[in-house]
A and B are shown apart, each in its own frame.
Chain A
Amino acid sequence: MSRKNKKTVSEAAVNTYVPSAEDFVLDVNRDITTDRNFASQGFWKGVCTRFFKNTRAVIGLVIIVLIIIFALIGPSLNQYGYSDIVSVYDEETGKEITARSMPPHIPALHKLFTGEDYDDLFAEHTFIFGTDSLGRDLWTRVWYGARVSLLIAFVTIFIDMIVGMSFGLISGFFGGVTDSFMQRFVEIANSIPRLVIVGVLATFMTKGIGLVIVALLLTEWIGMSKIARAEMLKIKNMEYIMASRTLGAKSGRIIFKDVLPNTIGPIITQMMFSIPTAIFTEAFLSFVGVGIMLPQCSVGSLIEDGFNNITTLPYQILPPILVLAFLMLAFNFVGDGLREALAPRIEDM
């Protein structure tokens, strides 16, 4: 049988084979017990096949991998470091001129379109994304920043998954006193302004990305716990939960084996949506002086720097926002793909 029979339906009916007499003989020598159609697959193998059949999910994965590759090798593609201020000594004025605030400046392309080279001081320099207002190459900084923001993105997913989701599920599942106690804890944790928490952390922790991650650990899981709790409340009384409880399953097993796959939808959506918030929180903490130290940068901090000259030098904010947009698009596609793969909606057969 051809693997993917693209022929339209009508063709199959056309081949009217006219049976002849000798065909009517018992066709005995066949093993009819083997099951050819539904080879059994492990759950996870099934998830993978379903995931990789979903084109959007694959595109998302490809984008993420691409961004990771660029984040790793991007900065080394040209000779500028992420903190090198490119400057040239100008004979006429006898002053050091930095390549500050230059729009994208690619001699090869410029030659292609206009036929002649640049005539300014930085003729032979290539700044694919242009330079920032200090004169540092934006291409290098965007990809260097992407490393930090990718780390934050995956940390957020981890925090949401481990802390937020389990807190919410447990709080929703047990209900009663434990639920109200845990919810009061959430209310207290959420009411302390982030700046205060960060300020206190800064007194006894060394400032840097570590402190940002701890700050995120303390504040970012609350949204997810609310969603997980809501889902749990909805599903807690379904018959199959009662059933597995009667079978003697311990609560832990029920929560993570029975309830979780059915609540995966909103949980993954929320996870995807908490990533940009976390990336901007990191940028805010770095601006306040608690996150990464200048001249290091992250996608969020580059967006904030670009924001300072948004109407006069719009090209500065474009690359970081595009990288973030693609990252978010990719995470959403992968999230949807995961959601479909983990709990496939049986298409109406």
Chain B
Amino acid sequence: MKKFKKMLVALLSVMMIASLFGAVSVSADQGGDIYVMFATNVMSLDTNLATDGDSFEIIADCIDGLTQMDADGAAVPALAESWDVSEDGCTYTFHLRDAKWSNGEPVTAADFEFAWKLAMTANLEYNYLFDTSVGAIKNADAILYEGADPATLGITALDEKTLQVELEVPVSFFPSLMYFPAFYPINQAFYESCGDGEYGTSPYTFLCNGAFLLDDYVPGAASMTVVKNPDYWDADRVSLNSITYQVVGSSDQALTGFKSNNLDIATVSGDQVAAVKDDAALSENLKVTGAGYMWYLTFSQTENSSSDGSLANANLRLAISNAIDRESLVDNYVMDGSIATYTAVPPQFAASATTGEDFSGDQTKFADYIGFNVDKAKEFYEAAKAELGKDSFTFTMIYGNNEGDEVTKVAQAIKEQVEGALPGITIDLQAMTKAERLEKMQNDDYCVALTRWGPDYADPMTYLGMWTTGNANNYGFWSNPEYDAIIKDCTAGAYVSDYDARWAALYQAEELVLKEAVIAPLYTKANANLITAGLEGVEFHPVALNRVYKNATFSK
């Protein structure tokens, strides 16, 4: 039987030797090649179909819009060399520069017209950016909601290099809206040459005119690569050779990937951030950036299969909101630099065009409605119990189990804090997928939900617009005519042309929301990024495009 032992030992040693000669792992530090981490799958590269941040990032690497984001998020000319605006602010004429697609075809105004009108023909997630609530492009509402002919959209290519866009009402942030992927151009001839649904599913069915070319990609792939585009119109400012994206599921694994320098940019969360802070060398690489989206609790104010309707009582909601210790949430559970938030609009994302200061810079503005004050919470709770005539409540809080480890921790922390501060309230936690959670919230089949909202454009309206009566995201089904009136004025009414007045009115709207605790803001998510030494110039943004590499430099 000794034969078997010899055979086994031989087998194991052969395997080890074979692997030694196989290859030392591809180290990530030749010249300008960087390895960047994605936390989730890339959904699609078709600018019309893409819905998630990672997809936008790769699309923006390969395709330019009319404008681009500079370091602080302002719109700078890209494919549009310059543009002029009519006096009433409703007509934009963009003058395109000479730029070429990766198949040699020139980029023309017709590409933009084709792309936008193509968007109008399908039910897409981001079609709402065209309608009067955001971009207010002429006839967009009629096409989207009344079935008008897509050709009537207010966009016309006057000639190869000039594009005219007409708006229903002047939109102050319109240029910054243009760097959002939904407004990028698509070459009609190439699009129609691909099979149905084939566009954007591989490097051969995708056309680039941006800083990088798509080199390796398959839908749902775990790793993707883009390489420098030599004939990009601004090629000399791009110094990176290639970017390889690697989908990494767990934060622990991301940290190991970074430490073994298989990742140059990695996003870590929770305990890994704590571990990085303890390690002096590693903490130099740590760079906390605003992720832009705000986590908050939304309460269903109607009686439905999951809730007894007691949350229609504002005092009860205020009690819960004030029983939550947001500093402890951020310090002990999220721990990745996220900021406790006491306002309905998250800080660090929307700055006033005139004064330049952040809309939610002052977090104590609504201190008397929202904060961590157990006594005040008890007062609200007693008032609520008196009004409702009940002294014990059971709520089911739904949360997503595929939206990050910290979400599960926050849910359990809130349960502990609220049950600790307000005896008589029991919160049952119910995990489900994000999609299932959304469906339950949209069908008003929930009681309390831990949810989030990410801004699509740099204006407070992306948040405050959500709580108007009948809005798809008004999950509490709250209706307040005074609130609706203010929002109406800001989008289409008196304040449209008067910037400062609009800015002040938005504050009033925010106060209404917080006074009745329609939502209980918790924290604004930040990303704890680890960036290899020697890699500078990567621009991080909380809105639209998370990371832009155009001006990044990587010196060994």
What are 5 A-B pairs at a CB distance below 8 A?
A: A83-B412, A98-B328, A98-B332, A134-B412, A289-B433
B411 and A294 within 8 A (CB): yes
Q: Choose from A293, A307, A311 the contact partner of B255 (Cβ within 8 Å).
A: A311
Q: Choose from B325, B331, B401, B413 the contact partner of A134 (Cβ within 8 Å).
A: B413
Number of interface residues, chain B, beta carbon within 8 A:
31
Q: How far is the CA of A95 from the CA of B332 in the complex (A)?
A: 10
Q: Determine whether B158 belongs to the interface, using a CB cutoff of 8 Å to chain A.
A: no
A310 and B431 within 8 A (CB): no
Chain B positions within 8 Å of A85 at CB level: 412-413, 416
Q: Determine whether A101 belongs to the interface, using a CB cutoff of 8 Å to chain B.
A: yes
A288 and B431 within 8 A (CB): yes
Q: Determine whether A55 belongs to the interface, using a CB cutoff of 8 Å to chain B.
A: no
Q: Choose from A101, A287, A294, A309 the contact partner of B252 (Cβ within 8 Å).
A: A309
If A96-B332, A287-B431, A309-B252 touch, whether A101 touches B271 (CB-CB below 8 Å) is: yes
A295 and B412 within 8 A (CB): yes
Q: Determine whether A123 belongs to the interface, using a CB cutoff of 8 Å to chain B.
A: no
User: Which residues 384-440 of B sit at the A interface, judged by CB distance below 8 A?
Assistant: 401, 405, 408-409, 411-413, 415-416, 428-433
Q: Determine whether A133 belongs to the interface, using a CB cutoff of 8 Å to chain B.
A: yes
Give the Cβ gap from A321 to chain B, nearest Cβ, in Å: 16
| Leading 7 A-B pairs by shortest Cβ distance | A289-B431, A312-B275, A98-B332, A289-B432, A96-B328, A309-B271, A294-B429
Q: Determine whether B235 belongs to the interface, using a CB cutoff of 8 Å to chain A.
A: no
Give the Cβ gap from B202 to chain A, nearest Cβ, in Å: 28
Q: Determine whether B274 belongs to the interface, using a CB cutoff of 8 Å to chain A.
A: yes
B333 and A294 within 8 A (CB): no
Q: Determine whether B250 belongs to the interface, using a CB cutoff of 8 Å to chain A.
A: yes
B272 and A100 within 8 A (CB): no
Give the Cβ gap from B316 to chain A, nearest Cβ, in Å: 23
Chain B positions within 8 Å of A329 at CB level: none
Q: Choose from A96, A288, A312, A313 the contact partner of B401 (Cβ within 8 Å).
A: A288
Chain B positions within 8 Å of A133 at CB level: 270-271, 409
Q: How far is the CA of A135 from the CA of B251 in the complex (A)?
A: 19
Chain A positions within 8 Å of B409 at CB level: 133-134
Q: Determine whether B256 belongs to the interface, using a CB cutoff of 8 Å to chain A.
A: yes
Q: Determine whether A190 belongs to the interface, using a CB cutoff of 8 Å to chain B.
A: no
Q: Determine whether A277 belongs to the interface, using a CB cutoff of 8 Å to chain B.
A: no
Chain A positions within 8 Å of B484 at CB level: none
Q: How far is the CA of A287 from the CA of B402 in the complex (A)?
A: 10
Q: Determine whether A97 belongs to the interface, using a CB cutoff of 8 Å to chain B.
A: yes
A312 and B408 within 8 A (CB): no
Q: How far is the CA of A287 from the CA of B270 in the complex (A)?
A: 18
Number of interface residues, chain A, beta carbon within 8 A:
27
Q: Determine whether A308 belongs to the interface, using a CB cutoff of 8 Å to chain B.
A: yes
Which has the most chain B C-beta neighbours within 10 Å: A95, A97, A289, A310? Answer: A289
Q: How far is the CA of A133 from the CA of B273 in the complex (A)?
A: 12
Q: How far is the CA of A207 from the CA of B431 in the complex (A)?
A: 11
Q: Determine whether B456 belongs to the interface, using a CB cutoff of 8 Å to chain A.
A: no
Q: Determine whether B511 belongs to the interface, using a CB cutoff of 8 Å to chain A.
A: no
Q: How far is the CA of A310 from the CA of B251 in the complex (A)?
A: 10
Q: Determine whether A87 belongs to the interface, using a CB cutoff of 8 Å to chain B.
A: yes
Chain B positions within 8 Å of A311 at CB level: 252, 255-256
Give the Cβ gap from A103 to chain B, nearest Cβ, in Å: 12
Q: How far is the CA of A175 from the CA of B258 in the complex (A)?
A: 59
Q: How far is the CA of A85 from the CA of B331 in the complex (A)?
A: 14
A308 and B250 within 8 A (CB): yes
Chain A positions within 8 Å of B429 at CB level: 293-295
Q: Determine whether B215 belongs to the interface, using a CB cutoff of 8 Å to chain A.
A: no
Q: How far is the CA of A96 from the CA of B420 in the complex (A)?
A: 14
Q: Determine whether B29 belongs to the interface, using a CB cutoff of 8 Å to chain A.
A: no
Q: Determine whether B308 belongs to the interface, using a CB cutoff of 8 Å to chain A.
A: no
Q: How far is the CA of A259 from the CA of B328 in the complex (A)?
A: 64
Give the Cβ gap from B331 to chain A, nearest Cβ, in Å: 6
Q: Determine whether B168 belongs to the interface, using a CB cutoff of 8 Å to chain A.
A: no
A311-330 vs B, CB cutoff 8 Å, 1 = contact: the mask equals 11100000000000000000
Give the Cβ gap from A297 to chain B, nearest Cβ, in Å: 11
Q: How far is the CA of A97 from the CA of B332 in the complex (A)?
A: 7
B325 and A294 within 8 A (CB): no
A145-158 vs B, CB cutoff 8 Å, 1 = contact: the mask equals 00000000000000
Chain A positions within 8 Å of B431 at CB level: 287-289, 293-294
User: Which residues 39-92 of A sit at the B interface, judged by CB distance below 8 A?
Assistant: 83-85, 87
Residue of A nearest to B420 (CB): A85
A289 and B255 within 8 A (CB): no
Give the Cβ gap from A313 to chain B, nearest Cβ, in Å: 6
Give the Cβ gap from B123 to chain A, nearest Cβ, in Å: 26
Q: Determine whether B327 belongs to the interface, using a CB cutoff of 8 Å to chain A.
A: yes
Chain B positions within 8 Å of A100 at CB level: 271, 332-333
Q: How far is the CA of A295 from the CA of B428 in the complex (A)?
A: 9
Chain A positions within 8 Å of B275 at CB level: 312-313
Chain B positions within 8 Å of A309 at CB level: 252, 270-272
Q: Choose from A87, A294, A307, A308 the contact partner of B332 (Cβ within 8 Å).
A: A87
Q: How far is the CA of A84 from the CA of B412 in the complex (A)?
A: 10
Chain A positions within 8 Å of B412 at CB level: 83, 85, 134, 294-295
Q: How far is the CA of A87 from the CA of B413 in the complex (A)?
A: 11
Q: How far is the CA of A85 from the CA of B274 in the complex (A)?
A: 18
Which has the most chain A C-beta neighbours within 10 Å: B271, B272, B274, B433? Answer: B271
Q: How far is the CA of A53 from the CA of B430 in the complex (A)?
A: 49
A312 and B332 within 8 A (CB): no
Chain A positions within 8 Å of B256 at CB level: 311
User: Which residues 81-119 of A sit at the B interface, judged by CB distance below 8 A?
Assistant: 83-85, 87, 95-98, 100-101
Q: How far is the CA of A294 from the CA of B270 in the complex (A)?
A: 18
A293 and B271 within 8 A (CB): no
Give the Cβ gap from B499 to chain A, nearest Cβ, in Å: 39
B430 and A310 within 8 A (CB): no
Q: How far is the CA of A313 from the CA of B250 in the complex (A)?
A: 14
Give the Cβ gap from B183 to chain A, nearest Cβ, in Å: 37
Give the Cβ gap from B327 to chain A, nearest Cβ, in Å: 6
Give the Cβ gap from A306 to chain B, nearest Cβ, in Å: 10
B333 and A96 within 8 A (CB): no
If A96-B328, A308-B251 touch, whether A293 touches B401 (CB-CB below 8 Å) is: no
B416 and A83 within 8 A (CB): yes
B267-295 vs A, CB cutoff 8 Å, 1 = contact: the mask equals 00011101100000000000000000000
Give the Cβ gap from A105 to chain B, nearest Cβ, in Å: 16
Chain A positions within 8 Å of B327 at CB level: 95-96
Q: How far is the CA of A121 from the CA of B313 in the complex (A)?
A: 40
Q: How far is the CA of A97 from the CA of B270 in the complex (A)?
A: 15
